[in-house]
Structure 1
Amino acid sequence: MDLAMGHGHGHGHSANSSRRHLAAALVLLVVFMAAEVVVGVVANSIALISDAGHMLTDAASIALALVAITMSARPARGAYTFGWKRAEILSAAINGLTFVVLVVYFVYEGVRRLIEPPEVKGALVFGTALAGIAVNAAAAWLIARADRSSLNVEGAFQHILNDMYAFVATAIAGAVIWLTGWGRADAVAALIVAALMAKAAYALLRDAGRILFEAAPAGVHPAEVSAVIVAHSGVTAVEDLHVWTVTSGFPALSAHVIVEPGGDCHRVRRELADLLHERFHIDHTTLQVDHVPGAACRIVSA
């Protein structure tokens, strides 16, 4: 029997670099959000208030991302043999759920204001939205420089990107109200924001759910992996094949591989590990290699 494990997990950006960029974006958003709440109340604009609510989730998503990065960097210890790497996936799932809550509220409020449109100060909405576009563009640029291969950081980035689109919709609504007096444009903008949030929520919850429920990585099909292993010369069967993702960018595989009588177990294991890396980009592999029942497994020294 040959039981071996391969490791090869890493990210292109350091955790410290990601933390710096996320922290800078967080400060930028919190300052602008506070100002936007005040202006939204003064202008009586649900679009601005919805944008401020969206920015609150942006700030929360970045704060969660910072906490998750710190937790996931903890080394494996004791019962936590993979460390706290799933913390970032939980953060991404929470981000997606906050989107869902906001979608429900803004759809309700937007529809209500379509039926009974209040008086909205269009010029104030327009000017604030333009400032919001600039602030979100700067925050998006900062987060884009962090490690977006992490679902956690990508979740924060999607929050910022959706908020920037929302500000574009709000700016258009403000201009329409300012120039034409059509107050329902504010509610229409809020509904557009809600639609963008719903789209982002679906993507985040889908990707986080795949990892939390230990589905195979996107683009990797267990049946295909099994076929590739069995196609290797010397392998007669593969059993108990499991392919999953520990955290973003960390796919893992375990399997029980049966080799033909007299096969070189060590050689087969090494070659399969290399094959899985080349074909499926899986570096963390645990392969138990055994001979066919009743036959001896030949081990040849290198």
Structure 2
Amino acid sequence: MSHDHGHQHHHHEPAQYGKAFAAGIGLNILFVAVEAIYGFFSDSLSLLADAGHNLSDVLGLIIAWAAVWLGKKLPTKKRTYGYKKSSVMAALLNAIILLIAIGAIFLGAIQRFAHPEPVAGKTVMIVAVIGIVINTITALLFMSGRKTDLNIRGAFLHMAADALVSLGVVIAGAIILFTGWEWVDPVTSIIIAIVIFAGTWGLLREAADLSLDAVPAGVDADAIKTYLEQIPTVLNVHDLHIWGMSTTETILTVHIVRSQIEDNDLLLEKLEKELHDKFGIEHATIQIEKGTYVCGLAPDNKV
């Protein structure tokens, strides 16, 4: 009976977003200061409240940045995968923060329906335009990585959501100033909240899946099993597990029963390369069995 383990280590560094995070955090802290100053001198509670809300965006960016930094730390005897999972935790936390913000927007809109408030003044609209510019610039810094890294997508959605909120303030304010239709303000807020929720739901679902070690989106587990089963000398493939070590790196473990084991090292080298090149598996652990005993992990429902 022989058990061979193939390990493949690709030191896959996440995209270098350090400067993007620093710029985004700096711009948003500056915007919070502008809102707080204008809010204080114009006696605008809405501006002061929005300044507080934008502090949560700074927190979201800090969380995402910390996860990227932690992901680069080396493994230890206790944390054998290092802190790579922190990117998944950051994406999940940012999704929850966004959902809380959406809830606050809905609540504010409902309250304005029940108790209409004066339309946002010109000062508020001017500050909102500044917000559109700053949040759009910050969102664009993370746009390229939003499709490949869930953690970066969380940062992108935070900024894009705030740009939408600021745009809503300007559009609603302009319409109300010209028409006097005060109901436009809460309606616009609800529409924006729905749009943000549509983007956040996907982030939340994927982050929750990754935190539960589900197969990452874009990885076809059936195709991987079929590929392994079609290799000559392979009699059986079982105990196949695929999960995300981080928001950018995928792990695979599997047991393979072979009719011959003399060329295990050559096969392992081939499998590790092709699993990486064809399916994006960054870290593969492969246990090869001769089939002279019944593996306790062979049943599909056995974990």
- Regarding TM over 0.5, the answer is yes
Q: Distance in 1 between matches of 2:146 and 2:188?
A: 32
* Native 8 Å contact 1:214 1:244 kept in 2: yes
* Native 8 Å contact 2:14 2:248 kept in 1: no
Q: Distance in 2 between matches of 1:115 and 1:7?
A: 59
Question: 1:205: Cα distance to partner?
Answer: 1.2
Residues 28-47 of structure 1 aligned to structure 2 (within 5 Å): 28-37=27-36, 39=38, 42=42
Matched residue, 2:296: none
Question: 1:37: Cα distance to partner?
Answer: 4.6
Matched residue, 2:13: 11
Question: 1:38: Cα distance to partner?
Answer: 5.4
* Native 8 Å contact 1:22 1:146 kept in 2: no
Change (3 A) 1:38 1:247: same
Change (3 A) 1:227 1:263: farther
* Native 8 Å contact 2:258 2:289 kept in 1: yes
Change (3 A) 1:76 1:12: closer
Q: Distance in 2 between matches of 1:3 and 1:216?
A: 22
Matched residue, 2:217: 218
Q: Secondary structure at the match of 2:35?
A: helix
Q: Distance in 2 between matches of 1:197 and 1:57?
A: 16
The residue type paired with residue 177 of structure 1 is I
The residue type paired with residue 72 of structure 2 is A
Change (3 A) 1:137 1:28: same
Q: Distance in 2 between matches of 1:49 and 1:206?
A: 32
Question: 1:50: Cα distance to partner?
Answer: 7.0
Matched residue, 2:244: 245
Matched residue, 1:173: 172
Q: Unpaired runs of 5+ in structure 2?
A: 294-303
Residues 245-284 of structure 1 aligned to structure 2 (within 5 Å): 245-261=244-260, 264-284=263-283
Deviates more, 1:241-250 or 1:268-277: 268-277
The residue type paired with residue 112 of structure 2 is R
Residues 97-108 of structure 1 aligned to structure 2 (within 5 Å): 97-108=96-107
Change (3 A) 1:12 1:121: closer
Deviates more, 1:92-101 or 1:217-226: 217-226
Q: Secondary structure at the match of 1:7?
A: coil
> What whole-Å deviation, never above 9, does each CA across 1:36-93 have from its counterpart, x for those lacking one?
35556848585x6775455233211111122222222211011100001111211111
Question: 1:9: Cα distance to partner?
Answer: 3.9
Q: Unpaired runs of 5+ in structure 1?
A: 295-302
* Native 8 Å contact 1:254 1:285 kept in 2: yes
1:58 has 2:60 as partner: no
Q: Distance in 2 between matches of 1:139 and 1:219?
A: 27
Deviates more, 1:133-142 or 1:120-129: 120-129
Give the percent of matched residue pairs that are identical in Structure 1 and Structure 2.
28
Question: 1:190: Cα distance to partner?
Answer: 2.3
Q: Distance in 1 between matches of 2:180 and 2:146?
A: 44
Residues 86-165 of structure 1 aligned to structure 2 (within 5 Å): 86-144=85-143, 149-165=148-164
> What whole-Å deviation, never above 9, does each CA across 1:3-36 have from its counterpart, x for those lacking one?
110112413633xxx2222111111112212333
Question: 1:273: Cα distance to partner?
Answer: 2.1
* Native 8 Å contact 1:45 1:120 kept in 2: no
Q: Secondary structure at the match of 2:255?
A: strand
> What whole-Å deviation, never above 9, does each CA across 1:105-151 have from its counterpart, x for those lacking one?
22122012023211124423332222211111222233347787432
Q: Distance in 2 between matches of 1:147 and 1:166?
A: 20
The residue type paired with residue 66 of structure 1 is W
Change (3 A) 1:40 1:158: same
Q: Distance in 2 between matches of 1:187 and 1:262?
A: 69
> What whole-Å deviation, never above 9, does each CA across 1:158-189 have from its counterpart, x for those lacking one?
11112112222221011112222222222223
Q: Distance in 1 between matches of 2:208 and 2:243?
A: 12
* Native 8 Å contact 2:268 2:286 kept in 1: yes
What's the Cα RMSD here?
2.5
Q: Secondary structure at the match of 1:247?
A: coil
Matched residue, 2:183: 184
> What whole-Å deviation, never above 9, does each CA across 1:266-286 have from its counterpart, x for those lacking one?
233222223322321213111
Matched residue, 2:234: 235
Q: Secondary structure at the match of 1:95?
A: helix
Q: Secondary structure at the match of 2:281?
A: coil
